[in-house]
Amino acid sequence: MPYQAPLDSMLFALTEVAALDDLVETGAFEGLSREITAAILTEAGKLASNVFAPLNRSGDLEGCRYEGGAVVTPPGLKEAFAQFAGGGWAGLSAPAEFGGQAMPVLLDAAVSELWAASNMAFSLCPILARGTVAAISAHGTDEQKRLFLPHLVSGRWTGTMNLTEPQAGSDVGALQTQAVRRGDGTYSITGSKIFITFGEHDMAENIVHLVLARLPDAPAGTKGISLFIVPKFLINSDGSMGARNDVQCVGIEHKLGIHASPTCVMRYGEGGGATGVLLGRENGGMAAMFTMMNDARLSVGTQGLGIAERAFQQALAFAVERRQGRPLGASMRTGPAPIIEHMDVQRMLMTMKALVEAMRGLVYVNAAAIDIAHVGRTEEARRAALLRADLLTPVTKAWCTDMGVEVASIGVQIHGGMGFVEETGAAQHYRDARIAPIYEGTNGIQAIDLVTRKLGMDGGAALQSYLAELHDCAEQLAQRNLPVLSAALARGAKDLDDVARWLRDRLDAGAVDDALAGATPFLSLFGTVAGGHVLARGALVPGCPADRITLAQFYAANILSRADHYAQAATSGSGDMSVGAIGL
Amino acid sequence: MPYQAPLDSMLFALTEVAALDDLVETGAFEGLSREITAAILTEAGKLASNVFAPLNRSGDLEGCRYEGGAVVTPPGLKEAFAQFAGGGWAGLSAPAEFGGQAMPVLLDAAVSELWAASNMAFSLCPILARGTVAAISAHGTDEQKRLFLPHLVSGRWTGTMNLTEPQAGSDVGALQTQAVRRGDGTYSITGSKIFITFGEHDMAENIVHLVLARLPDAPAGTKGISLFIVPKFLINSDGSMGARNDVQCVGIEHKLGIHASPTCVMRYGEGGGATGVLLGRENGGMAAMFTMMNDARLSVGTQGLGIAERAFQQALAFAVERRQGRPLGASMRTGPAPIIEHMDVQRMLMTMKALVEAMRGLVYVNAAAIDIAHVGRTEEARRAALLRADLLTPVTKAWCTDMGVEVASIGVQIHGGMGFVEETGAAQHYRDARIAPIYEGTNGIQAIDLVTRKLGMDGGAALQSYLAELHDCAEQLAQRNLPVLSAALARGAKDLDDVARWLRDRLDAGAVDDALAGATPFLSLFGTVAGGHVLARGALVPGCPADRITLAQFYAANILSRADHYAQAATSGSGDMSVGAIGL
């Protein structure tokens, strides 16, 4: 199925919802304007539509092949990646001093949506590479930056994140990979890592692995974890490529989806020890890794958005083409009608569209907050934006990926029997979408992060300022004669406030189980309300098309109305849960 | 993954929720008792666990092969089917005079759950065969019954349902397959059919195709459709096998799931015309087909239940085995805890379990109503039960299959990264489950059937008597000091009543679009409330374990609380939906 960049919708969300102009006005991004943004999106859209989208189905069918330590990516991917790198896309938001284009994270998020939508499996490679750049930029020495960043930014090399081990998944602190000081400033790394995305492939000259490992004298748990740069090929101090490092891909997983993305089992130090250099400080690995993970969490939320947009486009095209039956009450029509004329199909398409627009707004607002946290004009503005970004990131990651699955599933349904036939392509989105709620911290982990860390940040100030914004928006809706939207948003905000207070009270009272039991529905509540908020902001734009108000109203009645349910579930506590009832 | 028949839960639902004793007391089922029911389930459970379950993963991997008109099923399936037939399972609820065991549909539903759970792809074959028996039993001539039923009942032959053509899916009336009277009492059938489940295979000696086709002088639409029996091998009047009929499988689909079930493209009459005999009367095909479809709709709802139970068992086993992290607040524990101890995982397992039990109750209650509709002691009892069965069938089909997908998806999530790896098996359930909301009438079609046909049956009496039962149950809950359960069920019943009135008002006012726009959320509301009802009935059983009350309470707070959301969505009308908003 073809894919077209939804440029109008993206530009609307960038400018009217995520306040692109605020970033322009900071003056921190040279040359940034609405025009250049549109031009960049247009170019990226061409690459996505013409190069990546056509490889989506073939990549799914062919998958990756493991051949004696090497990984062969599906036909065309290597060339597509070369075009991607050649176009400078790998370094869109990277620092200019290392060859990047120093554009905002916001713009990178928008462009990333295009990669995710056109080819979700492929889009993982840039996500990981960008995370590597973020981590080295933030924590690397000048030497490390000089040696690694230019090639990562240019797309000549790619990067990976090595956290998971068979016994250490969500509990990163349980990892056992060892790092031993060699005395020459390098470390000898030994251990196994699993689920390493693009851990080995044939698209780049070198792969820069960021590896979490434990020093012999490290404290237990996450406090004893250090982060190492372990390149596939060692780099000489003059920047030239050196010897092959002692790291091997020993196999790849056979997965439900994203077949064009190799998920590798990596073995470090089978030949005596892989050579790594410390990134950041000893035992400070988690902090450094979080830099990368926060970046990746936003990116994975963006994947939820992208795959939903793709599924939506495909379902819409089918619903316009496919003729079947006559809607009841449409007896004047001769011959079968396109199924989009059936109200039940319209409901499904409206649900997809409303969710996609809500996700897009949320992803972009989150990205803009990350930018302002870096370049806001005042310390106060930066501080507030950082809190906002920290608050929203788990919501964006989890809610957008959950909705990605929901939207992809509706996409299958709209196709009827054809949706279950792989040839159609709808089923691939349903398979691909399913990984996003799992990786980069499962959605359950995001919910626990939200409740146990983010709600309490700065005495709860992050949430309070967000709630104030929601109420302000509801007020404006009322003034603009949109009472239904206003009431729905105000009610959602109240739910959010009430539940957050309840959760914090339970935590304060030491009733941790109650708070943890409510974490996931609370996050769903948060995402649902946040989605209503961004759609409402769109409806408030002077002169916006009436259809945009219709969309916001549909969301309010049909999706935001989930809020009370989530609120009830989130505050139902742990008393109605028991291992005995599960085992009945 | 192994699968164990959940006998305790099944027997509880059969006896305490679906009132098995009421069937026993009719005296219509010779030998039926609680004890014989338990014995039958135990035997079926062994076959499911020991024979079908081990073939589930291999069948998925191997799939079916198309070889020049023939279909080769995955290794082991043929032998498994022989055991199934040999055990008499194909004829469990079939009439005794044709070799069946004349057991109630209720018992067949319970046993069918076992087949669906152990091997969903395989379970389609008996579903179709049983539907064929139902259609021939109800509409066949004595000769047809004599020739076809014994072999279908014994499992020597299987059956299929041939409705869909490329241009005729949900709109069956658009079908073009032709039937021409030959003058010798037979008809010449010509045309193509798609999505024919087990249309060709190697497990049985003959395949009895029931084919919808149109006579040359037939009126347009569904009123001009006739149903024909078109066996793969013709049957001589002495019952012996005759010549190969002019019907061919010309290909099979490559599908998202249920790989062990061949989905066939069938071509009738390429050699001049396939020989068919009329089942029922000319142009009366839809009525005859509905006999088969109603049976199949209950069976597909049962598949939703079965796949959910299987996904649940697998997730539970994983959550007990897999150790990861320590729950917050459980600092006394040394070493990592089984993940079932984490509240967020417990929430997921409780959700799965509560939904499974709700689905089971609903499926069995629906099946029992079908039985009473046939064997109830009074005309009034039979009439009321028929209305109940007609009302519930679309709900059971659609809600249980939607929940099957939801539960299978949670199952993947509980496995974390391992859930996305095909080897684990959780992903297969997610893939397999996805077909059930589509076939045997998409869930959208079920919702439209519910709103436009079922709500108005007998002046709305079917719904009114159901609502009375809900209110009666809520009353009993209040008396038994279960006020939270009582209030939740009463509120759900009120939602159901209010929305049903609103929908009928819209229909009466000619605002068909509003009613159609609300059909799917109304069905979801109905299923959600019905699920709460059956769990509440379980909680009312004197001396039931406290865990069962816990489960009902969890459902009330965490799932039944969706009711208000569905009610709001169902009554939001078509005004917030537009092709313009979709195309924004």
pTM beyond 0.80, yes or no:
yes
Of B347, B435, B581, the CB nearest to A520: B347
Task: Give the whole-angstrom CA distance, residue A155 versus residue A162.
Answer: 19
Task: Give the whole-angstrom CA distance, residue B401 versus residue B433.
Answer: 7
Residue type, A103: M
Task: List CB contacts (< 8 A) between A194 and chain B.
Answer: 417
What does the pLDDT read at residue A289?
Answer: 86
Given a cut of 90, whether residue B193 has pLDDT beyond it is: yes
Is residue B1 within 8 A of residue B317, CB to CB? The reply is yes
DSSP class per residue in A517-534: HTHHHHHHHHHHHHHHHH
What does the pLDDT read at residue B327?
Answer: 83
What does the pLDDT read at residue A331?
Answer: 60
* H-helix or E-strand spanning residue B157: strand B157-162
DSSP class per residue in B537-552: HHHHSTT--HHHHHHH
Task: Give the whole-angstrom CA distance, residue A41 versus residue A10.
Answer: 9
Task: List CB contacts (< 8 A) between B342 and chain A.
Answer: 444, 516
Hey, what are B527's tokens?
């299923």
What does the pLDDT read at residue A333?
Answer: 63
**Nearest CA among A246, A201, A162, A193 for reference residue A65:** A201
Of A350, A413, A420, the CB nearest to B255: A420
Hey, what are B235's tokens?
């049957």
Task: Give the whole-angstrom CA distance, residue B396 versus residue B302.
Answer: 8
Return the percentage of chain B with pLDDT > 90, whole number.
96
DSSP class per residue in A23-59: HHHHT-STT--HHHHHHHHHHHHHHIIIIITHHHHHH
DSSP state of A577: -
Instruction: Provide block-wise average pLDDT over 10 residues at a time, chain A (584 residues).
Output: 96 98 97 97 98 98 97 98 97 96 97 98 96 95 98 97 94 96 97 98 98 97 96 96 98 98 98 97 92 90 98 98 85 82 97 98 98 97 97 98 98 98 98 98 98 95 97 98 97 98 97 98 98 98 95 98 98 96 94
Task: List CB contacts (< 8 A) between A405 and chain B.
Answer: 409
Of B550, B569, B581, the CB nearest to A547: B581
- CA-based R_g, chain A, Å: 24
- Closest residue, chain A, to B556 (C-alpha): A569
- Mind listing the pLDDT tens digit for each residue in B418-432? 999 999 999 999 999
Q: CB atoms < 10 A from the CB of A54, how many? A: 17
* H-helix or E-strand spanning residue A380: helix A379-414
Task: List CB contacts (< 8 A) between B329 and chain A.
Answer: 510, 512-513
- Closest residue, chain B, to A416 (C-alpha): B438
Distance in Å, alpha carbon of A395 to nearest chain B alpha carbon: 16
- Closest residue, chain A, to B433 (C-alpha): A420
- Closest residue, chain B, to A428 (C-alpha): B256
Of B323, B431, B520, the CB nearest to A347: B520
Distance in Å, alpha carbon of A26 to nearest chain B alpha carbon: 31
The reply to whether residue B412 touches residue A438, judged by beta carbons under 8 angstroms, is yes
Is residue A92 within 8 A of residue A111, CB to CB? The reply is yes
The reply to whether residue B558 touches residue A435, judged by beta carbons under 8 angstroms, is no
The reply to whether residue B344 touches residue A431, judged by beta carbons under 8 angstroms, is no
Task: List CB contacts (< 8 A) between B423 and chain A.
Answer: 253-254
The reply to whether residue A169 touches residue B329, judged by beta carbons under 8 angstroms, is no
Which residues of A have a catalytic role annotated? 440
Of A419, A513, A579, the CB nearest to B340: A579
The reply to whether residue A513 touches residue B343, judged by beta carbons under 8 angstroms, is yes
Q: Of the residues B200, B309, B357, B440, which is catalytic? A: B440
Task: List CB contacts (< 8 A) between A512 and chain B.
Answer: 327-329
The reply to whether residue A577 touches residue B346, judged by beta carbons under 8 angstroms, is yes
Distance in Å, alpha carbon of B375 to nearest chain A alpha carbon: 33
Given a cut of 90, whether residue B373 has pLDDT beyond it is: yes
The reply to whether residue A174 touches residue B336, judged by beta carbons under 8 angstroms, is yes
Distant-in-sequence, close-in-space partners of B555: CB < 8 Å, separation ≥ 6? B354, B355, B358, B531, B532, B535
- Mutation target to probe the B interface, by most B beta carbons within 10 A, among A12, A161, A256, A261 is A256
The reply to whether residue A516 touches residue B328, judged by beta carbons under 8 angstroms, is yes
Given a cut of 80, whether residue B30 has pLDDT beyond it is: yes
What does the pLDDT read at residue B165?
Answer: 97
Q: Residues B170-192: what's their mean pLDDT?
A: 96
Of B194, B416, B448, the CB nearest to A442: B416
Distance in Å, alpha carbon of B492 to nearest chain A alpha carbon: 13
Distant-in-sequence, close-in-space partners of B481: CB < 8 Å, separation ≥ 6? none
Task: List CB contacts (< 8 A) between A564 and chain B.
Answer: 561, 564-565
The CA-CA-CA angle for residues A20, A24, A27, to 5°, reads: 155
The reply to whether residue A584 touches residue B547, judged by beta carbons under 8 angstroms, is yes
Exposure of A270 in the CB half-sphere (CA atoms within 13 A): 10
The ipTM value here is 0.98
CA distances from A252 to A159, A400, A432, B420 (A): 17, 27, 17, 13
Distance in Å, alpha carbon of B264 to nearest chain A alpha carbon: 12
Pairing outcome for strands A241-244 and A233-235: antiparallel
The reply to whether residue B521 touches residue A409, judged by beta carbons under 8 angstroms, is no
The reply to whether residue A171 touches residue B336, judged by beta carbons under 8 angstroms, is yes
More confident residue, B258 or B328: B258
Pairing outcome for strands B247-252 and B263-268: antiparallel
DSSP state of A245: P
The reply to whether residue B569 touches residue A557, judged by beta carbons under 8 angstroms, is yes
Is residue B477 within 8 A of residue B539, CB to CB? The reply is yes
What does the pLDDT read at residue A230?
Answer: 98
Per 3-state DSSP, chain A is made up of helix, strand and coil in percentages (nearest 5) of: 60, 10, 25
Task: List CB contacts (< 8 A) between A257 and chain B.
Answer: 420
- CA-based R_g, chain B, Å: 24
**Nearest CA among B14, B19, B24 for reference residue B377:** B24
- Mutation target to probe the B interface, by most B beta carbons within 10 A, among A163, A343, A415 is A343
The reply to whether residue B551 touches residue A254, judged by beta carbons under 8 angstroms, is no
The answer to whether B341 is a known catalytic residue is no
The C-alpha torsion from B353 through B357 and B359 to B364, rounded to 10°, is: 160
The reply to whether residue A434 touches residue B437, judged by beta carbons under 8 angstroms, is no
- Mutation target to probe the A interface, by most A beta carbons within 10 A, among B196, B453, B579, B582 is B582
Given a cut of 70, whether residue B225 has pLDDT beyond it is: yes
Of B256, B412, B516, the CB nearest to A422: B256
